Structure 1
């Protein structure tokens, strides 16, 4: 289950004592997704995609532009757009 931690500006998934996370930065008019990380033992399970889906879902509800400095988030957005799920990068 994805947990939003707005005070740390991140989304996390806890699996035992390990944490996968998606970090973002807020400015006055933009949400910038800056880093996605999954512990090596948890990779290949779709956790990063789950984090990004939750983060983008939340960001869509905010009155701000969405930017992806993180290469994984950029690739995820490209796949979503190619699949016809809309233009979510509003920058």
Structure 2
């Protein structure tokens, strides 16, 4: 995954990436999962099987109870049939706008 952009507005996380399904072991149907961690609150939240690699972007909504003032993000893709996962990628640190 090569993230093209990550933003956080309130509890809405926007993630965009370049579809690299032309590469070996990558398919447009692979499912995206995003892991968020707030180090101050020591809380994590998982968005599992959100959209496909071929979608290229997604809007994710954190629950109201999750603190979004500072969030570290990781993402991975999983093959929908075999369950094999790509190496996770650190998407960076975002702060609530």
TM-score, normalized by length of structure 1? 0.32
Q: Which has the higher helix share?
A: 1
